[in-house]
């Protein structure tokens, strides 16, 4: 069923529905919203895009969070230019969200520590990959993943939490009988919202 079917044609309830879908993406691992695509500007200026797991959405602060290896290319790209795009498509709800934001890279400190502590063992293992993600290797299996606890714990130095401050959400709902498209722009978290309908 189209999860947004009961939605009335107001910008306020449309934004609430966007928030509801994103929140479900954090908690429901089987939901399409759990694995958005994240776009950065490559070091050579080309667009770069990849899937990540959505770890948190803070509605008040207007932020999203995902985790990555600080040795990965996306971290170098975001360190050079923090502008980021996040794309979701919830097939069940028939809703696409395109989010513009700015990324902060947390390798040390409270945000990174809390995220690492909350991570499961199987997630932490990835940060012990040797050589670093993206390195050229001689054979398909010529890399090492830690399996002993001290070695897994040492992966902490490669872990980073990326916090995206949302500047805009573009909503597109493939509604039977007439699509709906809207833009929501933010300043200071989600406090100051500027909303408009757009032709789909
Ligand atoms: C379903 C799925 C979930 C993924 N989740 C993450 C993630 O949360 N963090 C991450 O860094 N990479 C994740 N990846 C791998 C990335 O898509 C990407 O291949 C990797 O991070 C290297 O990207 P980069 O070279 O652009 O930095 C995931 C891939 C898939 C298919």
Per-residue pLDDT at 2 exceeds 70: no
Looking at residue 187, its pLDDT comes to 84
The whole-number average pLDDT for the span 63-91 is 98
- The structure tokens listed for 124 are 């932490």
pLDDT range class, residue 5, cuts 50, 70, 90: low
List the residue whose alpha carbon is closest to atom 10 of ligand 1: 68
pLDDT band, residue 160 (cuts 50/70/90)? very high
**Ligand 1 pocket member 72 (CB < 6 A):** yes
The verdict on the CB of residue 50 being under 6 Å from ligand 1 is yes
- Give mean pLDDT, residues 175-181: 92
CB 191 within 8 A of CB 20: no
The predicted pLDDT at position 193 comes to: 86
- Tell me if 103 sits within 8 A of 78, measured CB to CB: yes
CA distance 129 to 146: 7
**Which run of H or of E encompasses 68?**
strand 63-69
Q: What is the pLDDT of residue 87?
A: 98
Q: Provide CATH code, domain 11-119+159-198.
A: 2.30.110.10
**Mean pLDDT taken over the chain:** 94
Residue 191 pLDDT: 76
pLDDT at 11: 95
Q: Is 134 a pocket residue for ligand 1 (Cβ < 6 Å)?
A: yes
Q: Which of 30, 50, 163 to mutate to test the pocket of ligand 1 (most atoms within 8 A of CB)?
A: 50
Helix, coil or strand: residue 154: helix
Give the whole-angstrom CA distance, residue 141 versus residue 29.
28
| pLDDT (0 to 100) of residue 1 | 44
Can you give the pLDDT at residue 68?
A: 98
Q: What is the pLDDT of residues 31-74, one digit of tens each?
A: 999 999 999 999 999 999 999 999 999 999 999 999 999 999 99
């Amino acid at each position: 069923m189209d999860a947004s079917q009961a939605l009335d044609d107001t910008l306020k309830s449309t934004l609430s529905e966007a928030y509801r879908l994103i929140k479900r993406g954090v908690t429901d691992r089987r939901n399409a919203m759990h694995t958005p695509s994240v776009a950065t500007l490559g070091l050579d200026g080309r667009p770069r895009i990849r899937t990540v797991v959505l770890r948190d959405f803070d509605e008040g602060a207007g932020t999203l969070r995902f985790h990555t290896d600080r040795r990965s290319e996306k971290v170098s790209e975001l360190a050079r230019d923090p502008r980021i795009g996040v794309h979701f498509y919830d097939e069940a709800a028939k809703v696409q969200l395109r989010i513009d934001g700015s990324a902060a890279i947390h390798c040390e400190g409270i945000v990174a520590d809390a995220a690492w502590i909350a991570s499961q063992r199987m997630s932490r293992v990835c940060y012990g990959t040797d050589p670093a993600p993206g390195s050229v290797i001689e054979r398909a299996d010529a890399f090492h993943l830690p399996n002993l606890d001290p070695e897994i714990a040492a992966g902490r130095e490669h872990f980073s939490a990326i916090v995206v401050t949302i500047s805009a959400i573009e909503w597109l709902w493939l509604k039977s009988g007439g699509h709906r498209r809207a833009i929501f722009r933010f300043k200071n978290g989600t406090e100051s919202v500027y909303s408009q309908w757009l032709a789909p």
